[in-house]
Amino acid sequence: MLIAATVPHNSRKCCIVQAAHFELGKVEDQGVRERMVNLLNHVDHELAKKVAMGIGIPAPTQSVSENHGKSSAALSQENTTKTAKGRKVAILAADGVNGEDVMAIKTALKKAGVQAEIVSKFKGMIKSAEGEEIMVDKTFLTSASVLFDAIYVPGGAESSAALQMQGDAIHFINEAFKHCKPIAATFEGVKLLKNSDIKGVKISDSSIQNDQGVVTAKTIFALNEFTKSFIEAIAQHRFWMRQEKDQVPA
């Protein structure tokens, strides 16, 4: 028997509907699409109607689920333990990145049990503003924001300027924001966020700003306070309250 759980936030249900439109919209056999909508109707009548609308199937006229409208706290993500441990962060960087920022954040994330990988335009090495070489783990071509739980953009004027000229880097930010994931940036890295299409959040022009999981600091700040805010945001996992996320192209 299928047990229905009320989705606690409209944005979350919207993501489920969009995923169903994407997957079922590729199914050529109308009978298969109809059967899937019927199965969804056993879970949530309103969900089934919205999915049907997007895949060219007549919407079910009434609920057939005894559990429709009921909820279970045990099935809600809101009741899971909030932890950053096991999460994965993409650090977007290019030549001229502030190496001290990168190392400090990576060290703090590692202590919290978070894996961090450097993502850049090309594989190999990038050179930091201090002249040190930093190994690139992934490229924009071989990776995507959907493979990470959060994004961090470190400082470094040259690095930030290069990333602002790369559509893949902008898309990386846009997509992560649209998927309600935590995003952080420091110093010149904040400019990449300002040049992206993210909307409805405050981005720092000075000290630490944390708005709906977007953690930024443009000027001198306490690193411990910044990393604490970012790690707390990672532990939250998603920020469904971003009202203007659907306006972001991604």
pLDDT digit string, tens, across residues 164-193: 999 999 999 999 999 999 999 999 999 999
Question: So what's the pLDDT on residue 3?
Answer: 37
- Per-residue pLDDT band for 250 (boundaries 50, 70, 90) equals confident
> How does pLDDT run across 195-212, given as a tens digit for each residue?
999 999 999 988 899 999
Residues 69 and 108 in one domain: no
For the chain, helix (H) and strand (E) counts, in that order, are: 8, 9
> How does pLDDT run across 61-88, given as a tens digit for each residue?
888 766 655 666 666 656 667 899 999 9
- Token pair listed for 21: 């439109």
Angle (CA) 35 40 41, round 5°: 95
Residues 130 and 57 in one domain: no
Residues 63 and 105 in one domain: no
- Residue 3 domain-assigned? no
Q: Is the pLDDT score of 233 beyond 50? A: yes
Residue 189 amino acid letter:
G
Residues 206 and 157 in one domain: yes
Scored b (16 or more CB within 10 A) or e, 121-131 reads beeeebbbbee
CATH of the domain at 63: 1.20.1370.20
Residues 203 and 173 in one domain: yes
Q: Which of 73, 104, 125 is the last residue of a domain?
A: 73
What range defines the domain where residue 125 resides? 88-241
Residues 153 and 36 in one domain: no
Contact 180, 11 (CB under 8 A): yes
CATH of the domain at 184: 3.40.50.880
- Residue 2 domain-assigned? no
- Residue 83 domain-assigned? no
Q: Which of 73, 106, 122 is the last residue of a domain?
A: 73
Look at the chain and report how many structural domains it folds into. Answer: 2
Question: So what's the pLDDT on residue 205?
Answer: 86
- Residue 62 domain-assigned? yes
- Residue 209 domain-assigned? yes
Residues 167 and 64 in one domain: no
Question: So what's the pLDDT on residue 9?
Answer: 47
Residues 32 and 149 in one domain: no
Q: Is the pLDDT score of 1 beyond 60? A: no
Question: So what's the pLDDT on residue 245?
Answer: 85
Q: Which residue has the higher pLDDT, 2 or 163?
A: 163
Residues 123 and 196 in one domain: yes
- Per-residue pLDDT band for 110 (boundaries 50, 70, 90) equals very high
Indicate the pTM of the whole model: 0.79
Cα dihedral 39/41/43/47 (nearest 10): 120
> How does pLDDT run across 117-130, given as a tens digit for each residue?
999 999 999 999 99
Cα dihedral 9/21/54/200 (nearest 10): 40
